[in-house]
Protein backbone atom coordinates (compact mmCIF):
# COMPACT_ATOMS: atom_id res chain seq x y z
CA UNK A 1 0.00 0.00 0.00
CA UNK A 2 1.38 3.38 -1.00
CA UNK A 3 1.89 5.99 1.70
CA UNK A 4 -0.02 9.21 1.13
CA UNK A 5 2.30 11.66 2.83
CA UNK A 6 -0.08 14.58 2.35
CA UNK A 7 -2.91 12.69 4.07
CA UNK A 8 -0.59 11.64 6.88
CA UNK A 9 0.54 15.23 7.41
CA UNK A 10 -3.06 16.51 7.45
CA UNK A 11 -3.86 14.03 10.22
CA UNK A 12 -0.72 14.95 12.16
CA UNK A 13 -1.81 18.59 11.98
CA UNK A 14 -5.36 17.71 13.04
CA UNK A 15 -4.20 15.64 15.98
CA UNK A 16 -2.01 18.53 17.12
CA UNK A 17 -4.84 21.04 16.66
CA UNK A 18 -7.50 19.12 18.59
CA UNK A 19 -6.15 19.54 22.15
CA UNK A 20 -5.31 23.19 21.43
CA UNK A 21 -8.98 23.83 20.67
CA UNK A 22 -10.05 23.22 24.27
CA UNK A 23 -12.82 20.91 23.02
CA UNK A 24 -13.26 17.24 23.70
CA UNK A 25 -12.19 14.94 20.86
CA UNK A 26 -15.82 14.14 20.15
CA UNK A 27 -16.85 17.82 20.01
CA UNK A 28 -13.82 18.79 17.95
CA UNK A 29 -14.44 16.01 15.42
CA UNK A 30 -18.09 17.00 15.14
CA UNK A 31 -17.15 20.65 14.62
CA UNK A 32 -14.62 19.71 11.94
CA UNK A 33 -16.76 17.13 10.13
CA UNK A 34 -14.52 14.21 11.07
CA UNK A 35 -15.36 10.81 12.44
CA UNK A 36 -14.30 10.12 16.00
CA UNK A 37 -13.16 6.64 14.95
CA UNK A 38 -10.92 8.07 12.22
CA UNK A 39 -9.28 10.42 14.72
CA UNK A 40 -8.52 7.56 17.13
CA UNK A 41 -7.31 5.34 14.28
CA UNK A 42 -4.69 7.92 13.28
CA UNK A 43 -3.62 8.56 16.88
CA UNK A 44 -3.05 4.84 17.35
CA UNK A 45 -1.28 4.54 14.00
CA UNK A 46 1.14 7.38 14.79
CA UNK A 47 1.93 5.95 18.23
CA UNK A 48 2.68 2.59 16.63
CA UNK A 49 4.94 4.21 14.00
CA UNK A 50 6.79 6.19 16.68
CA UNK A 51 7.39 3.02 18.67
CA UNK A 52 8.71 1.26 15.58
CA UNK A 53 11.03 4.13 14.73
CA UNK A 54 12.33 4.31 18.29
CA UNK A 55 12.90 0.57 18.34
CA UNK A 56 10.71 0.24 21.41
CA UNK A 57 9.94 -3.33 22.21
CA UNK A 58 6.71 -4.22 23.93
CA UNK A 59 8.01 -7.66 24.85
CA UNK A 60 9.82 -8.64 28.00
CA UNK A 61 12.11 -11.58 28.51
CA UNK A 62 10.72 -14.16 30.91
CA UNK A 63 13.17 -16.47 32.65
CA UNK A 64 11.73 -19.58 34.25
CA UNK A 65 13.68 -20.87 37.22
CA UNK A 66 13.87 -24.64 37.69
CA UNK A 67 11.71 -25.99 40.49
CA UNK A 68 9.76 -22.80 41.00
Whether 1 shows a pLDDT value over 60: the answer reads no
Q: Domains in the chain: how many in total? A: 1
Residue 27 domain-assigned (yes or no):
yes
Residue 28 domain-assigned (yes or no):
yes
Show the domain range for 27: 5-54
Residue 60 domain-assigned (yes or no):
no
What is the C-alpha to C-alpha distance for residues 44 and 26, in angstroms, rounded to an integer? 16
Residue 67 domain-assigned (yes or no):
no
Residue 62 domain-assigned (yes or no):
no
Q: Model confidence over 14-55: pLDDT tens digits?
A: 999 999 999 999 999 999 999 999 999 999 999 988 888 887
Cβ contacts of 65 within 8 Å, gap of 6 or more: none
The per-residue pLDDT for 22 is: 95
What is the C-alpha to C-alpha distance for residues 41 and 30, in angstroms, rounded to an integer? 16
Segment (H or E) for 2: none
The per-residue pLDDT for 2 is: 64
Residue 63 domain-assigned (yes or no):
no
Amino acid sequence: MAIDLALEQRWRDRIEECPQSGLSVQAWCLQNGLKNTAYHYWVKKFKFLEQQEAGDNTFAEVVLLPGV
